[in-house]
Structure 1
């Protein structure tokens, strides 16, 4: 019943976003996903990652067959595009096959499976599609933020960032000094964050096929909820980021006309009373909080129970993501602090939901929520005080984040591991 309610709610949410996107004359998440059945997908890696999540419910023989079919379909698509001289300029030349396999197993579940086996396969298909739909939903959300929030609050965060020593400006100069190799590595890490999440999730779900049931809590749940709730904060606190607001319209997005000043990354903005600034209707207002930081934090947390190679990968992805968000000028330092608090609060809530709410879990979620709200209020109404008294507010910001980290570590240390609810065999009819 819970899965059915979640499915209906998700479908309703996607339909609402589709309608919102159509108001601006652009395709929404449902349309863009349907188009990728045929056209070159935006992210082939993500489609194969979604297929990998779906395959956790299959046997090894079925997994090899599914992978072979997906690769075969992609080869056919490649040959057809080559024969028709169709250039892939906005997307990847692979990934259609993975989507076909996911949808195909959805048909198999309905037409060829029954009872709990059908339910398990549909859950696998839904999990794979949710990962892909989450990306499409995020793209639509970003469009809505740009269209509905003409003014941005970058001057507030840039002013508040003086309390932390303007870390985005410092990281931008360091990254520029490393040359193209460092930039390419961090850019790849930044873009392929969902794939890293899938790798950790596959380890967590490695026993799904054998135990015939999903873990009560896993990384995908946290990943999707972060992506669902985060854009709502974008609407409250619209910010484009230092590379756009202070970098002269990087990547051809805004241009010199929209940039407040061409200062990033060499000259921190002067301390002055902040004010809302008009910006274009193309650049997403996706800085506060830093969801890449929140996702990387979730990956780090969930990798702690894995083998050494996964723990190392989780640490690397967190450090590299933080470096990229600051070094490329996508975020201010205060965004990252809010992102960590945001991730830990959501993770604590989902763990409590899976294991049953108790006093410690409730207190942790309440504390994280209060700290996050206090950060937003401080960034909006106290940035000038923060900039003028960095010796006070800098440590206070770090202590606020540290209090949530400490509370999470102390509380979750006493929690028992969450069991995996297995599917029980269906009752056999009584023979008279």
Structure 2
């Protein structure tokens, strides 16, 4: 059922993309079987996820085959002088090996072994297709939502102290070093997720089964559900609505002598130097290219998921999860991709998704239902307040700001408390029914099988 729904969703996105004259996620992924992939690192990360179902010997064979295939592609492209502009020179081998394992599972394996291999392949293909699906979603948002609500969010953000403007100035002052660190963290979020997921799935090959809940599951659900809110609450971000809107390097070079001109669709060229006015927000017509991908911040949502799923990992992974969350928050604000209001919405969104998945696994007990309902209510209240009460929030920041933060903290507390109760609650193990003791003959007597009567021994 899940596979059928996923396939139908991908087919629908393919048709939607074709309607706007561009290939969809299925075509883009199929193209990478031969052409230079957009992200070779992502394909190898997907291969690593698939290999959790393989034995150690099979993993060495898979990696060696992927590298060998990539070297073959590299030699052929060099011989024919093929252009790899816009793509990576490696990654095809990882995709070929993943597809090869799927063929092997269907043709040479049966029963639980086949199911396990196909689950590993499906996990890898979903991670690969997730990037393509996201690109198609962003295209659809830019084509179908001609107006954006950035002015509303920017005004509401006054209640939080305008963190995007503040962090944007700090990133600018940090120079190239701080910028490059944040850019690396922001661009390698999927790799960090794969590292955390590999630790969670390290016993799959030995136990021949996947754990009930893991990070990749949350990652995929966030990526599937989150873009729907881009259509409901279209926002492009401060660097586009209030800045140059060129590359994110504009956050660092904004005061350079050769500063690029203001983006024609921007409300003003003021990010991050001058705060926007706190009155009279209105919908703003924007271009048909820039994605409306801010509300909620899915980068914050994914980084929060990594943080949650590394809490029971070794110390190094716990520190890495914390660092990745903090650095992602700084990058999303400092590069001008998001407002502070997007970030707290992303945190609440993630905790609600995570609670729903865990509650589903436990049979929707009352504690899980209450937590999901509460998280949904807080997230809905955030969106409604950003849209209909931004001026009041900006004029009374001493009230609105603490309320927003308290609501976010209450969801965090509710999640922590509920999951702790779940971890302490033990499932009773059914006790075996007592069996009647066999009737043993008395010493010196013989008894017939199945009979209680005995006769004297001769």
Q: Normalising by structure 1, report the TM-score.
A: 0.94
RMSD of aligned C-alpha atoms? 1.5
Match of 1:225 among 221, 225, 234: 221
Partners of 1:133 and 1:352 in 2: CA distance: 27
Query: Aligned partners of 1:317, 1:251: CA distance in 2, in Å?
Result: 23
Indicate if the aligned counterparts of 1:355 and 1:418 stay in contact, CA closer than 8 A: no
| Aligned residue runs from structure 1 range 157-176, under 5 A | 157-176=153-172
Larger radius of gyration, structure 1 or 2? 2
Deviates more, 1:244-253 or 1:70-79: 244-253
Q: Secondary structure at the match of 1:269?
A: coil
Match of 1:82 among 54, 78, 85: 78
Residue correspondence of structure 1 range 265-414 to structure 2 within 5 A: 265-414=272-421
Find the partner of 1:37 among 28, 33, 38: 33
Q: Is the 8 A contact 2:159 2:401 kept in 1?
A: yes
Contact 1:354 1:418 in 2 (8 A): no
User: In structure 1, how many angstroms separate the alpha carbons of the residues matched to 2:170 and 2:34?
Assistant: 43
Higher mean C-alpha displacement, 154-163 vs 246-255:
246-255
Query: Could you tell me how far 1:81 is from its partner in structure 2?
Result: 1.4
Quick one: distance in 1 between partners of 2:183 and 2:30? 28
* CA distance, structure 2, for counterparts of residue 195 and residue 379 of structure 1: 33
Indicate yes or no: 2:148 matched with 1:152.
yes
Rounded Cα–Cα distance in structure 2 between residues aligned with 1:418 and 1:81: 58
Matched, 1:18 2:14: yes
Residues 145-180 of structure 1, C-alpha deviations (whole Å, 9 max, x = no match): 000001000000000000011100000000011111
Structure 1: 5+ residue runs without aligned partners? Answer: 420-432
Q: Separation in 2 of the partners of 1:40 and 1:185?
A: 27
1:54–1:417: structure 2 CA closer, same or farther, 3 Å change rule?
A: farther
Alignment partner of 2:247: what SS? helix
Matches of 1:212 and 1:417, distance apart in 2? 26
CA contact (8 A) 1:44 1:92 kept: yes
How far 1:416 sits from its partner (Å)? 2.7
Shift in alpha-carbon separation, 1:418–1:112, aligned structure 2, 3 A: farther
Deviation of residue 290 (structure 1)? Answer: 0.2
Counterpart contact for 1:19–1:28, Cα < 8 Å: yes
Change (3 A) 1:68 1:232: same
**Shift of residue 233, structure 1, vs aligned partner:** 0.3
Q: Residues 220, 68 of structure 1: CA spacing in aligned structure 2 closer, same or farther, 3 A cutoff?
A: same
Q: Note the C-alpha offset of 1:87.
A: 3.0
- 2-structure distance, mates of 1:226, 1:251: 26
Deviates more, 1:299-308 or 1:263-272: 263-272
**Alpha-carbon deviations, 1:3-33, whole Å to 9, x = none?**
xx11111000000000000000100000000
Q: Secondary structure of 2:423's match?
A: coil
Query: Cα distance, 1:213 vs. partner?
Result: 0.3
Runs of 4+ residues over 3 Å off in structure 1:
252-255
Residues 100-249 of structure 1 aligned to structure 2 (within 5 Å) = 100-249=96-245
Aligned length: 415
1:354-396 Cα offsets, whole Å, 9 max, x none, are: 2222111110000000000000000000000011111110000
Equivalent in the alignment of 1:427: none
Matched, 1:98 2:81: no
Aligned to 1:428: none
SS in 2 for 1:251: coil
- 1:417 Cα deviation (Å)? 8.0
1:64 to 60, 64, 71: 60
Could you say what secondary structure the match of 1:119 adopts?
helix
* Structure 2 contact 240–263 (Cα < 8 Å) conserved: no
Q: Is the 8 A contact 2:241 2:266 kept in 1?
A: yes
Q: What's the secondary structure of 1:265's corresponding residue?
A: coil
What CA distance in whole angstroms lies between the structure 1 residues aligned with 2:85 and 2:402?
Answer: 47
TM-score, scaled to structure 2? 0.89
Say yes or no: does 1:52 pair with 2:48.
yes
Question: What CA distance in whole angstroms lies between the structure 2 residues aligned with 1:31 and 1:189?
Answer: 29
